[in-house]
Amino acid sequence: MTTDILLRPEKYNLDGQPDPLRPPAPPRLDPVRAEREIVQKQDQEQQVLLSLPPEQQWSACQKDLRFLLHKAIKPEQFTALEALCVAGHVDATALRRELPMLPTAERRVRVETLLEDMAPLL
């Protein structure tokens, strides 16, 4: 690159003045502020989901839960979890928020324990 600068200086802005053809760089976001805004947005989404009936909560959380649990539990266990969530016995929204914080092995234990505890309801 240094050779190219020396051979073709017209390609580069060497005088330190902003290039009038290039748009200015967007302002940098404050990381603390950006994180606060993300958390606030997630909390608002969580409140909206919690206000929905169980069937709609499941519909909104199903893809995320499937992704989080696809290696942790068997398909028939996922079907049982769906039945419990749709019936309102398990809160799909809270489960979706809780599971990403757990390693895969602990996710499996958490869901299997949940299914065992709720087995009489199935």
Q: For 30-59, how does the pLDDT look when each residue is reduced to its tens digit (9 = 90+)? A: 889 999 999 999 899 989 988 999 999 999
Q: 69, 103 in Cβ contact below 8 A?
A: no
Q: Residue 53: its pLDDT value, please?
A: 94
Residue 57 lies in a domain: yes
Residue 66 lies in a domain: yes
Residue 97 lies in a domain: yes
Q: 49, 57 in Cβ contact below 8 A?
A: yes
**Total domain count, the chain:** 1
Q: What is the mean pLDDT of residues 6-32?
A: 77
Residue 4 lies in a domain: no
pLDDT of 16 over the 90 cut: no
Binning the chain into helix, strand and coil, the percentages to the nearest 5 are: 70, 0, 30
The 10s digit of each residue's pLDDT in 73-111 is 888 889 989 999 999 998 999 999 899 998 888 888 888
Cα-based torsion angle of the residue sequence 59, 64, 65, 68 in order, rounded to the nearest 10 degrees: 170
Residue with token string 């017209």 = 10
Q: Residue 115: its pLDDT value, please?
A: 84
Q: Residue 122: its pLDDT value, please?
A: 61
Exposure of 34 by Cβ count < 10 A (0-12 exposed, 13-18 middle, 19+ buried)?
exposed
Q: What is the mean pLDDT of residues 53-67?
A: 94
Joined together, the tokens standing for residue 80 give: 């049982």
Domain containing 104: what range?
50-122
- Rounded to whole angstroms, the Cα distance separating 59 from 93 reads 10
